[in-house]
Structure 1
């Protein structure tokens, strides 16, 4: 048998300040992408809807691939969700950003589904240990 301890048995370390700052930046990037997508999706329908959803998917998958961890895909997805949910509320004056149309619902639900898919299916680095059978 292998005498080395499992990587799962090691204690968790707090994230470094650089990694925490990176995830905060990704969270803000997701919020900006969500706000921009909310404006674009109704302005140039149906191309704007596809552009808005592709922007979110690109940000989430790009972050996961660049960092090499699925948590990097979750940070912009959370930022996107918070921004979009805040933009769905109406103001006391009666102003609102999302109309009650099919495109708005596809943007809201499609964006959440894309965020879950990107966070789940994001490619991550595999361990360098040759004994693991991951990816074989």
Structure 2
């Protein structure tokens, strides 16, 4: 029998172009102005959450502190999920920390925004711990609906 066998690759058009290298990611990726604006926006949100948290935790001590730390956790983890990188959690955490330090500096009269030393310490240490936890999560959870594969 005279059957002619063709290879699957022979049907593809041939080009003399060199193969493309991997797409750079992380710090090697090209600068994206929209991503930079997003990080700045997250940092501003972090500063606003710090200001609101300082006022709430001083006003209603045990419950206000929990609300303030929950707001910090929501913002830090939300930034991580939104951007998909660790910098998404660190940008609002940096804005939060800068605002808290500025609020701690006080006024020349000697008073400052925070109510008592216990609330201050718990808000500062708790916020930093939440920021570290959100920034160092290993991977974001992936949905099985987007993969095209059946099962988990």
Aligned residue number for residue 79 of structure 2: 63
How many residue pairs match? The answer is 124
SS at match of 1:121: coil
Rounded to whole Å, the distance in 1 between the matches of 2:30 and 2:97 is: 25
- TM-score, structure 1 as length reference: 0.80
1:33 corresponds to 2:49: yes
Rounded to whole Å, the distance in 2 between the matches of 1:10 and 1:94 is: 44
Say whether the 8 Å CA contact 1:31–1:76 is kept in structure 2: yes
Q: Which has the larger radius of gyration?
A: 2
Unaligned runs of 5+ in 1: 127-136
> Cα–Cα, structure 1 residues 12 and 33, in superposed 2: closer, same or farther, change >3 Å?
same
Rounded to whole Å, the distance in 2 between the matches of 1:12 and 1:66 is: 20
Aligned residue number for residue 131 of structure 1: none
Structure with more contact order per residue of length (Cα contacts < 8 Å, sep ≥ 6): 1
SS at match of 2:61: coil
Rounded to whole Å, the distance in 2 between the matches of 1:31 and 1:11 is: 25
> Cα–Cα, structure 1 residues 103 and 61, in superposed 2: closer, same or farther, change >3 Å?
same
Rounded to whole Å, the distance in 2 between the matches of 1:10 and 1:81 is: 24
Aligned residue number for residue 100 of structure 2: 84
Unaligned runs of 5+ in 2: 1-19, 143-152
For the aligned residue pairs, the C-alpha RMSD in angstroms reads: 2.6
